[in-house]
């Protein structure tokens, strides 16, 4: 999830753990611990773009990192707050749960996390909730703001963190229900429309959980479409995108190409664009593809011009957005 959501969730967890004994300092500990796996962002300062894509949500989102960093936090907090009545094992449990919650939640996005690093490079991604979903984030954010604003002896503090964490957890379960429902519908429609595929995935489109992006892969390319949970027609209008692997034979792609293929989990296409080859990672969707079936893919990497690939994951995410397109997006969510 986004950084603000992690901070808010950690603050609520800190209040739940030791708000009564540590006051608002408990919220600070929770916010820091919940944010620590994202320390991998510093890799972008010295790594090339392709390498930093793999470093992000890699080792610092692994179970091993969680096991290493948890006692480190526990020792610092235990020393800093002496004298206190909190046992060391309670510190361990608190920080372990907070840090694990971060890497657990991130696995529900489409980026993927390296739970098993460094022993396995397999990325875990459940494709269940968009990386920035206000319906998930608003509850802990509001709760944490209220907890900061009101005094530590305010009687409703417990209800605030309970609602903040509880409503987010409930929404995540609702997203899992939506994921199960949409996958069942997509499988049925693929069979009905006689779409030949070897594997597929579904992932929510930006900022909500009702309109889903669908990619069905075959040996030669991908059928790409969109399905709303509110669609009445049992049909998906697919657009086919060839993989175009043959274009890669015209260039070695340098050291970036194998890293990009690994990062994409084999969901990629290649296309000629001017004087460069463009590598598209399909997992991140299209720029307003629900409106323009031929829309370019959000993640597009210029293989022959690596210096032009900063912020590659979100390149063009908001391109072309205006009030009319936003209204179209809402209508498409509603099944129109």
pLDDT, tens only, 202-227: 999 999 999 999 999 999 999 999 99
Q: Which pLDDT tens digit goes with each residue over 121-162?
A: 999 999 999 999 999 999 999 999 999 998 877 778 899 999
Instruction: Quote the tokens at residue 293.
Output: 């079936």
Q: Check residues 309 and 73 and name the one with the higher pLDDT.
A: 73
| pTM (2 d.p.) | 0.93
* DSSP SS3 for 257: helix
Among 75-79, 154-158, 261-265, 267-271, the range scoring the smallest mean pLDDT is 154-158
Domain boundaries, the chain: 3-174, 193-333
Mean pLDDT over the full length of the chain: 92
Section 186-205 average pLDDT: 96
Q: Check residues 302 and 66 and name the one with the higher pLDDT.
A: 66
Q: Catalogue the E-assigned strands of the chain.
A: 199-204, 211-217, 221-228, 239-242, 268-273, 276-286, 297-302
Q: Which pLDDT tens digit goes with each residue over 17-36?
A: 998 889 899 999 999 999 99
Angle between helices 134-149 and 3-22 (to 10 degrees): 30
Q: If you write DSSP's letter for every residue of 55-94 in order, what string do you get?
A: HTTSGGGSHHHHHHHHHHHHHHHHHHT-S-S--HHHHHHH
Q: What percent of the chain has pLDDT over 90?
A: 76
Rounded to 10 degrees, the C-alpha dihedral 268/57/305/219 comes to -10
Residue 105: pLDDT band (50, 70, 90) is: very high
List C-alpha distances in Å: 55 to 46, 49, 126, 243: 11, 10, 19, 26
Angle between helices 88-106 and 3-22 (to 10 degrees): 160
Res 300 pLDDT > 70: yes
Instruction: Quote the tokens at residue 178.
Output: 């939506």
């Amino acid at each position: 999830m986004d950084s603000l959501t992690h901070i808010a969730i950690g603050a609520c967890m800190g209040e739940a753990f030791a708000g009564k004994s540590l006051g608002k300092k408990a919220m600070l500990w929770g916010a820091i611990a919940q944010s620590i796996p994202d320390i991998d962002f510093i890799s972008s300062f010295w790594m090339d773009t392709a390498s930093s894509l793999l470093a992000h949500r890699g080792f610092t989102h692994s179970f091993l990192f969680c096991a290493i960093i948890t006692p480190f936090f526990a020792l610092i907090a235990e020393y800093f707050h002496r004298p206190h009545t909190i046992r060391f094992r309670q510190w361990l449990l608190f920080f372990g749960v907070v840090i694990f919650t971060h890497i657990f939640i991130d696995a529900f996005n489409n980026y993927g996390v390296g739970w098993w690093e460094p022993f396995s490079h397999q990325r875990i991604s459940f494709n269940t909730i968009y990386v920035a979903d206000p319906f998930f984030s608003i509850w802990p954010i509001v709760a944490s703001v209220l907890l900061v604003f009101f005094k530590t002896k305010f009687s409703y503090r417990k209800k605030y963190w309970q609602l903040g964490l509880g409503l987010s957890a409930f929404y995540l379960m609702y997203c899992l229900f939506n994921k199960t429902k949409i996958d069942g519908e997509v499988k049925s429609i693929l069979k009905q429309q006689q779409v030949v595929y070897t594997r597929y995935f579904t992932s929510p489109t930006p900022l909500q959980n009702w309109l889903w992006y669908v990619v069905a892969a075959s040996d030669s390319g991908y059928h790409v479409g969109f399905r709303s949970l509110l669609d009445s027609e049992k049909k998906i209008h697919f657009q086919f995108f060839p993989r175009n692997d043959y274009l890669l034979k015209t260039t070695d792609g340098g050291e970036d190409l194998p890293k990009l293929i690994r990062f994409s989990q084999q969901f990629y296409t290649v296309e000629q664009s001017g004087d460069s080859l463009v590598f598209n990672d399909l997992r991140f969707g299209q720029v307003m593809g629900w409106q323009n079936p031929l829309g370019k893919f959000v993640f597009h990497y210029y293989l022959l011009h690596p210096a032009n690939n900063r912020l590659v994951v979100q390149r063009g995410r908001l391109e072309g957005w205006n009030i009319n397109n936003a209204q179209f997006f809402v209508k498409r969510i509603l099944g129109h």
